[in-house]
Amino acid sequence: MKAMTAKSILSTLSYHDHFCYSLSLDQIYDWFWRQWLDKKDKKEVNKTIEQLLKEKKIIKEKNRFALPGKSSYIKNYPERRSYSLKKQKIAIFTAKQIAKKVPWVLMIGLTGNTAMQNADEKDDIDLMLIAAKDRLWLSRLFVFLMFLKTGKQRRSGLTDSVKDKICINLWFDTGSLEILQKNAFTAHELLAMQPLFDRNNTYKKFIQDNAWAAQYWPNIFNNKKAKFKLKNKNKGRRSKTLFLLNTFFYRLQYFYMKKNISNEKIGLHFAYFHPKNRSKSVLEAFKKRQKEVQ
């Protein structure tokens, strides 16, 4: 058994352990920590997994793997997957409605637990939205007005049930697609994202602009890259009036939100609506778990 292979397998399971998530063999290949796998490497991984099972450093049930003592993650997977698929249908319907009514929206992606098919019944539904350049804040205004009618959006600060509510916590325009904070957590989040609507090959550009994520999860990055298909781009016309309106609504919305901003990162071309810095807590737990299992 190669020490590096065993270390990467344990690291892969350790990371997902924080999210109470078990992995299939194919998912271990996809999310293999920091190492690119070819066919020969996968055979080595298979042998190493068998050895780790004999040494009781990992467990296997129903063709899924987890760390010792975490069999509940495997048992809970079918139920969480079922919840996630139901939420995904809501997300797809919502994405279609937004794309139909807001012409500047170029891509909408499903993120978070639901994208990994690991949602709890009471979870909300996290989305990411990419707008055309200099149209982010116009798009956000239109989406907000649309949600006012439907009541589907999760509202910040409210303590009511968030079950199946839509939370668009990541906003970009095509002028700024590179993630600001670069680490294993943000890389995993962007690579786990499932595109629900994609216009003008925007999803491909988003992945390409965040190629740095491959240093953490090289296999899932290359798998996504291999599936890209070129589409005809429609650049559209640039309107100075819409540019000025977008800037005005950015300033207006920023002024309204300013008093409540904590860890959120907000600019003319992006908005990260994350009041808590999850990267820090996730990576600290990951590092601690890595040391425990090696």
Taking the C-alpha atoms of residue 141 and residue 144, their distance in angstroms, rounded to an integer, is: 5
pLDDT the model gives residue 149: 74
Residue with tokens 């300013």: 258
Instruction: Evaluate whether the domain defined by 3-75 bears CATH number 1.10.10.
Output: yes
> From CA 34, how far away is CA 67, in angstroms rounded?
19
- Average pLDDT estimate for 198-215: 96
Asked if residue 128 has pLDDT above 60, the reply is yes
Helix (H, G, I), strand (E, B) or coil at 15: helix
Whether residue 126 contacts residue 167, with contact meaning beta carbons closer than 8 Å, is answered with yes
Phi-psi region of 164 (alpha: psi -120 to 50; beta: other; left: phi over 0): left
Torsion angles phi and psi, residue 197, rounded to 5: -145, 135
Q: Is the pLDDT confidence value at 293 over 70?
A: yes
CA 47 to chain centre: 31
The answer to whether 161 and 122 have CB atoms below 8 angstroms apart is yes
Token digits of residue 259: 């008093």
Beta strand pairing status for 125-131 and 166-173? Answer: parallel
> Taking the domains of the chain in order of start, what are their residue ranges?
3-75, 77-281
The model's pTM: 0.90
The 125-131 sheet, strands edge to edge: 194-198, 105-110, 125-131, 166-173, 270-272, 265-267
pLDDT per residue as tens digits for the range 87-119: 999 999 999 999 999 999 999 999 999 999 999
The secondary structure of residue 154, as a DSSP letter, is: P
Fold of domain 77-281: Beta Polymerase; domain 2 (3.30.460)
Span 230-251, mean pLDDT? 75
pLDDT, tens digit (0-9, with 9 covering 90-100), for 42-101: 999 999 999 999 999 999 999 999 999 999 999 999 999 999 999 999 999 999 999 999
Mean of the per-residue pLDDT values of the chain: 91
What contacts 104, CB < 8 A, 6 or more positions away?
131, 132, 135, 138, 139
Please name the residues in contact with 85: beta carbons below 8 A apart, sequence gap of 6 or more.
Answer: 117
Q: How high is the pLDDT of residue 239? A: 83
What pLDDT does residue 224 have? 87
Cβ-contact 12, 64 below 8 angstroms: no
41 band by pLDDT with thresholds 50, 70 and 90: very high
For residues 111 and 277, the model is more confident at: 111
The SS3 call for residue 102 is coil
